[in-house]
Structure 1
C-alpha cells in the first residue's frame, strides 16, 4: 500500500513507519525519533543507522515526495522549526484516577493568573476603563479560538454595564467596522500572539480614523505597537499540547479586571441596569439572589 501522497511530511513519515517497506519503516522511525538530528545528518549516517544502503536513503526521500536528500533535509528542518513540540509531543501519562490532570490544569491556570496580575499596569487599566466608559461605541476584535472567546466575553461583561458594545470575530467584518470608526469609538483588540493580520490591520485602520485603540495582547507584538493603551500579557508554552492553553486564563483575567474597572468608573448608574437584568431573568425562574447576573 502506497499510502497518502500528502504534502504533510509528518503524516507521511508516520505512514511509512507503520506500513512502509522494512527499510522505510526503519528510516522513518529514525527521523521521527530524532528529527533535528536527521535534518542535519549526512546520508552515510542515516544509512548506517538504518542498516541500509545510501541509494535506499535516496529512494526513501523520494517516497516522502522530496527531490532528494537535500530537499528532504530542508523540508524536515522547516517542519521542525514550525511544528516544534507539537510535532513530537511528550506522551500523556495516565494514572488510575487521573488525579494528575486536576493538578496540571490547576497549576497551569494559577501560574498564568499570577503571572498576568504581577505584570498588569493598573494605571493603564484605569486609562482603558475611562476610554471605554466614555465611548459612544465600543467594538471588540478577536480572531482564533482564544481571542474570539475573549472578544465575545468582553462584550458579555460590558453590555450589562450599559456600555454600547459589539464583538467582531470575522476578519472582513473587522476591517469594515474599523473603516467607519471615528472619534468616540473605542476599539479593544484581543490576541494572545498579537500577530493575527486581520486584528492588527483593523486596529491600525480604526486608529487612523480617530478611534481610541486598546490591545490585550503580547507586549512584544505587532498589535501592541498599533495600540494606544496596552494591557499586556504573555504566557510561555509549557509543551502540554493536549491541555487547553493556560493563556486563556490570562486573557480572561485581563478581561475581568478591565470590566470591573469599567464598572467602578461608571459608578452607581450600573446598578439600575443590573437590576433590570435580574428582574427580566426572574421570569425564567432565575431570581435567586446568589445567582450571577446573566452568567
Structure 2
C-alpha cells in the first residue's frame, strides 16, 4: 500500500499524516475524515489529496485498503517447536518414510559421487548433509553455484540430493535440471510430493508439515529434514559395514 516511491513523494505535511496512520492504523481504519483531521491538525482537503496519491478515489476507499493492509500485516502466531515435531511424527512417520529412507540409502551406496544442492535454509542443511554423510564414510559435496564446473568423472554414477521446502525454488529447479541432463540420479527431500522438484526426481522423500511464514520469511521447521538426512547417512553406514 505504501510503496517506497509513494512515501518518497510525500511532502512534510503528508509525511506527518503517514506517520500518524502507521502508528494508529487500527484506529484510523474506523475514523471519519473529520476525526482524522482533528487528530492530526491537517485539513480534510489535504487528507483527500493524500488519499489520491495512494490511488484511492476518496477517504472511504482509503479506509478499505488500510483495513486490508492491517489484516495482511498482523503478526503470525508461530507454533511451538513441540507442535511441529508432533505434526511430523503423526503425518510422516506413520507412512512409508522408513522404506524411502532405505531405498535412498541403497541408491547412494552404489553411487561413486554424492552432490547436495539447496538454497537459503535448505542450502544450509544441504551443506550440513554433505558434512554428515562424509563424517559417516560417504564423501559428499555441497555445490551452491549452478555454474560451478563439475568434472565429467564426478557426474558419472553420481547422486544429487536436492533440498527444498516448497519444491518450487527456481534456482534449485534450474540447477537440478542441469545435473539431471548430465546424467546424475536425483533424490529430493521436499514438503510436497507434487512439487516440480519432486516430479523430476528419481526418488522423492516428502515430510508433510504445515508451511509457516513470518513476514516474508519461510520459517517452516527443518527438523524433519535433519531427521531424514541423518537416518539416510546412518543407513548407508550400516550397509557399508
TM over 0.5: yes
Give the match for residue 257 of structure 1: 231
1:120 Cα deviation from its structure 2 partner? 5.0
Give the match for residue 212 of structure 1: 185
Q: Does 1:125 align with 2:101?
A: yes
| Superposed CA offset, 1:127-179 (max 9, x none) | 211111110101000110x2012111211221123213111233443xx4498
1:250 Cα deviation from its structure 2 partner? 1.7
Matches within 5 A, 1:48-63: 50=36, 53=44, 56-60=47-51, 62=53
1:244 Cα deviation from its structure 2 partner? 9.1
1:49 Cα deviation from its structure 2 partner? 7.6
Q: 1:69 aligns with which of 56, 75, 84?
A: 56
Q: Does 1:89 align with 2:64?
A: no
Q: Does 1:105 align with 2:81?
A: yes
Q: Does 1:224 align with 2:198?
A: yes
Change (3 A) 1:197 1:180: farther
CA contact (8 A) 1:58 1:69 kept: no
Give the match for residue 151 of structure 1: 126
Q: State the SS of the aligned residue for 2:178.
A: helix
> 1:8 and 1:143 mapped to 2: Cα distance?
30
Give the match for residue 97 of structure 1: none
Unaligned runs of 5+ in 2: 38-42
| Superposed CA offset, 1:214-259 (max 9, x none) | 0011323221122110011232245667x99352112112212222
CA contact (8 A) 1:181 1:210 kept: no
CA contact (8 A) 1:151 1:169 kept: no
Change (3 A) 1:165 1:57: same
Give the match for residue 162 of structure 1: 137
CA contact (8 A) 1:140 1:168 kept: yes
> 2:181 and 2:236 mapped to 1: Cα distance?
25
Change (3 A) 1:254 1:246: same
> 1:203 and 1:56 mapped to 2: Cα distance?
53
Change (3 A) 1:91 1:212: closer
TM-score normalised by the chain length of structure 1: 0.59
Q: State the SS of the aligned residue for 2:117.
A: strand
> 2:94 and 2:184 mapped to 1: Cα distance?
29
Q: Does 1:139 align with 2:115?
A: yes
Higher relative contact order (CA 8 A, sep 6+): 2
Paired residues, number: 223
Give the match for residue 174 of structure 2: 201
Q: Does 1:190 align with 2:163?
A: yes
CA contact (8 A) 1:120 1:231 kept: no
What RMSD over aligned residues (CA atoms) do the two structures have, in Å? 4.3
Give the match for residue 7 of structure 1: 4
